[in-house]
Amino acid sequence: MVGQEVAKKILRRSFEENRLAQSYLFYGPSGVGKEMAAFELAQALNCTGVEAPCGACSQCQKTVSFNHPDLHYVFPVPHPSGESDKKKLAEEIAELLARKAEKPYLSLDFDRPVAITIDDIRVLQSKLSLQPYQGKKKAVIIIRPEAMTTEAANAFLKTLEEPSPTTNFILVCDKPNALLSTILSRCQKIRFMRLDRAEVVQNLEERHGLDPAQARMLASLSQGSLGQALEMMDLDLLEERRMAGDLLRAGLEKRYAEMMEAIDLATGEKGRPQRVLEMMSAIALEAIHPEPQASPEVLSLARLLTGPQLNRITANMELARTALSRNVTPRLCLMAACSPDIIKEEL
Ligand SMILES: [Zn+2]
């Protein structure tokens, strides 16, 4: 776990003094280590090594590979109605978990609506009614508890109200305000902070072997979310940066056909419009005060961009970013972002 000294200190001390709360809420921005911390705590509960969590004993290993019978990992999933779809879903989930065991930072995304339903909570409750199988303790990690339906949340509340000395709950949540206040009040809250850009860069270089330029680019794009930066490692970001440069240049030179072509490419994949937009603003900023070793794309843009244009572009990009987060069509957002002549009232 990177950074998060305060959270670490509280948890370590409670663990060492044997005063762990029955239920924790780990909250804060996404991708800053909440889930990682939840797994470390779950490991510590059953670790048989010298210094818990050792990460090496069979209990620790089973926990992070989702093979520990006393680890209950609950996260929002689609709820198909047909039996054959349920079977397909079970396979899909098994595959996702296998990938996540390799790359713990992956978020479990589905391309359809998800929830934690009353059925999911009933399954959990029936498992919790048994004694721990292999460990001393049962650990329940619930990802995005705010995705519980009202029924599910009320049923889960009953479980929280009947504490068991052998069970610890860890709720991992980006949006605590969306949780039932009755659930919130039953959890000890541990806040996780946004990471410094420097912490993200350092981790990417030292733990994941990225070169400094790549690490800096990922850190800026992910805005302090190490989880997101790691997920982006597998993408072809250089290709996307080229797209961003092309788009910016086509917009400035009013070559609209090329601009639309570049926009088609940039909207072709999930998450890409956001990244391309971030890269466009990074490139635009680099172009206004180009460093001597700047890339050719930045230098050629520097010759095109005037100060007032940059101001308009930056304002438009800010607007496009907000619009994108509010589900305005990515094509429209990118169009606005690369056309200095579009005034913001048009978006
Ligand atoms: Zn261990």
Domain ranges of the chain: 5-76+115-193, 235-346
Query: How many angstroms separate the CA atoms of 339 and 332, rounded?
Result: 11
Q: How far is the CA of 253 from the centre of ligand 1 (A)?
A: 60
The helix-helix angle for 256-266 and 272-288 (nearest 10°) equals 130
Q: CATH second-level architecture of 235-346?
A: Up-down Bundle (1.20)
Q: What is the pLDDT of residue 46?
A: 93
Q: How far is the CA of 50 from the centre of ligand 1 (A)?
A: 8
CATH class of the domain whose range is 5-76+115-193: alpha beta
Q: What is the pLDDT of residue 346?
A: 45
Structure tokens of 115?
């929830």
Q: How far is the CA of 224 from the centre of ligand 1 (A)?
A: 29
Residue identified by tokens 């990244």 is 275
Element holding 42 (H helix, E strand): helix 34-46
Domains 5-76+115-193 and 235-346 share a fold: no
CA nearest to 290, candidates 280, 281, 282, 299: 299
Query: How many angstroms separate the CA atoms of 187 and 160, rounded?
Result: 9
Residue 115's alpha-carbon distances to 24, 109, 325, 343, in angstroms, are: 21, 12, 21, 40
The helix/strand count (H/E) of the chain reads as 16, 5
* 287, 303 contact by CB (below 8 A): no
Which residues of the chain register pLDDT less than 50? 343-347
Query: How many angstroms separate the CA atoms of 190 and 33, rounded?
Result: 12
Which phi-psi region, left, alpha or beta, contains residue 3 (left: φ > 0; alpha: ψ -120 to 50)?
left
Q: How far is the CA of 74 from the centre of ligand 1 (A)?
A: 22
Sign of CA dihedral 152, 153, 157, 159: positive
β-strands 167-173, 138-143 pairing: parallel
* Residue 162 CB coordination number (10 Å): 9
Q: How far is the CA of 248 from the centre of ligand 1 (A)?
A: 51
CA nearest to 125, candidates 87, 97, 152, 90: 152
Q: How far is the CA of 43 from the centre of ligand 1 (A)?
A: 6
Q: What is the pLDDT of residue 165?
A: 87
Q: What is the pLDDT of residue 342?
A: 55
> What is the residue-averaged pLDDT of the chain?
88
Q: How far is the CA of 87 from the centre of ligand 1 (A)?
A: 34
Q: How far is the CA of 99 from the centre of ligand 1 (A)?
A: 22
* 136, 170 contact by CB (below 8 A): no
Q: How far is the CA of 73 from the centre of ligand 1 (A)?
A: 18
